C-alpha cells in the first residue's frame, strides 16, 4: 500500500463527518488516526514538514490511510496543498441543507463560548459583510456557500476523484451511504450499528463549564492523543447540568433560505445531485435535524 494518505474527507463542517469517522475507524481495510481532524494542510507551519502529518499514521500493510478534516474545504490553500501532497487523492465532500448547517455551526460556537451574539445578529452581520464569499472558516454563512468551495475543489482535482454525500441521505440510511462510498473507493462493504457521534448538548454556562472552554484546544488534542480518550464525549457524559438552546428565529431562517437559493442551484449543477430535499425542507426539520 501507499505510504501516503489516499482518501480525504474535506468537509463540510456539521455534515456528519464525525459519525463517518467513527464508523470507518472500524473498517478492516482503512487506517484512520485517533484524532479525526489534522490541521496539516491548513497550517503553514505544520505543512512545512510532512512528518507532522505522517506521525499520526502507521501505514499498515493491507490498509488504506484516510483522513477527515472539514476545515480543508473552507481554507484558501488546502486543496492545492492536498493535490501537491497526493495528486491521486480521493476527495469526499459531505453536504447538508445550507441553513440547517449554519444553525448547527452557530449552536456549536455558542455552546463552546466562542460566540456571544444572537443567531440573528451573526447572520445579518455576515450577510452585510463586503468580504462575504472569501474563504473564511469562522463564517457560518460562507461555510454553507458550497458552490464556491466545490468549484475550488474542482479547479484542482478532476471530477472523477471527487465524491459527494448528502447529510440527509446519510442520516436516513447510514449503511447505504457508507457502503456506496466504500464501493467508490474500491473497498469492501461492511455492517455496523448506526452512529450519532456528535449529537448536540446544551450545558449550563456555569463557572466550571467556562473554565473548561478556556482550556487551549491544542492541549486538549494532545491529551486525547496520548490518553486515547474522547474528551468531548466524556464531557457530555459527566456534565449533566443542561442549559437552554439559543433562540433560532424564523425570520432569520427565511432570510438565509432566500440567500442560499442560487447557491443550491449551482451546487446541484456542480455535483449532479438532486437537491429538492433541501428546497422542500420545513422550518421544524432545519431546527431539529440531528447535529453531527
- pLDDT tens string 112-141: 889 999 999 999 999 999 999 999 999 999
Q: Give 175-185 pLDDT, tens digit per residue.
A: 999 999 999 99
What is the domain partition of the chain in residue ranges?
A: 7-200+245-288
Q: CA-CA distance, 189 to 180, in Å (whole number)?
A: 8
Q: What is the pTM of this model?
A: 0.88
- Identify the H or E element spanning 31: strand 30-31
Mean pLDDT of 160-178: 97
What is the per-residue pLDDT for 291? Answer: 43
Write the pLDDT tens digit of every residue in 25-78: 999 999 999 888 999 999 999 999 999 999 999 999 999 999 999 999 999 999
Of 146 and 214, the structure prediction assigns the larger pLDDT to 146
CATH T-level assignment (fold) for domain 7-200+245-288: Rossmann fold (3.40.50)
Alpha helices in the chain (DSSP H): 17-24, 44-47, 51-54, 71-74, 78-85, 98-111, 119-127, 146-154, 167-172, 174-184, 207-214, 217-227, 231-238, 250-271, 276-279, 283-288
**Is pLDDT larger for residue 80 or for residue 211?**
80
The predicted pLDDT at position 56 comes to 92
Amino acid at each position: 500500500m501507499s505510504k501516503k494518505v489516499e482518501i480525504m474527507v474535506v468537509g463540510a463542517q456539521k455534515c456528519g463527518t464525525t459519525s463517518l469517522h467513527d464508523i470507518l475507524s472500524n473498517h478492516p481495510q482503512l487506517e484512520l488516526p485517533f484524532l479525526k481532524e489534522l490541521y496539516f494542510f491548513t497550517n503553514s507551519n505544520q505543512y512545512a514538514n510532512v512528518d507532522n502529518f505522517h506521525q499520526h499514521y502507521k501505514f499498515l500493510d493491507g490498509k488504506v490511510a484516510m483522513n477527515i478534516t472539514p476545515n480543508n474545504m473552507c481554507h484558501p490553500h488546502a486543496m492545492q496543498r492536498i493535490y501537491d501532497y497526493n495528486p491521486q487523492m480521493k476527495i469526499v465532500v459531505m453536504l447538508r441543507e445550507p441553513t440547517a448547517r449554519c444553525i448547527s455551526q452557530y449552536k456549536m460556537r455558542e455552546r463552546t463560548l466562542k460566540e456571544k451574539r444572537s443567531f440573528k445578529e451573526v447572520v445579518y452581520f455576515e450577510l452585510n459583510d463586503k468580504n462575504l464569499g472569501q474563504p473564511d472558516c469562522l463564517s457560518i454563512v460562507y461555510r454553507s456557500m458550497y458552490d464556491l468551495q466545490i468549484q475550488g475543489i474542482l479547479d484542482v482535482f478532476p471530477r472523477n476523484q471527487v465524491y459527494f454525500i448528502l447529510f440527509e441521505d446519510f442520516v436516513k440510511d447510514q449503511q447505504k451511504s457508507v457502503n456506496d462510498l466504500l464501493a467508490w473507493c474500491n473497498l469492501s462493504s461492511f455492517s455496523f450499528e448506526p452512529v450519532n457521534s456528535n449529537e448536540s448538548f446544551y450545558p449550563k454556562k456555569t463557572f466550571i463549564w467556562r473554565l473548561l472552554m478556556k482550556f487551549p484546544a491544542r492541549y486538549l488534542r494532545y491529551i486525547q492523543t496520548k490518553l486515547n480518550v474522547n474528551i468531548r464525549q466524556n464531557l457530555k457524559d459527566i456534565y449533566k447540568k443542561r442549559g437552554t438552546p439559543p433562540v433560532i428565529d424564523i425570520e432569520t431562517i427565511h432570510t438565509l433560505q432566500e440567500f442560499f437559493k442560487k447557491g443550491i442551484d449551482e451546487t446541484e449543477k456542480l455535483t449532479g445531485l438532486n437537491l429538492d430535499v433541501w428546497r422542500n425542507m420545513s422550518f421544524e426539520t432545519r431546527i431539529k435535524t440531528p447535529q453531527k
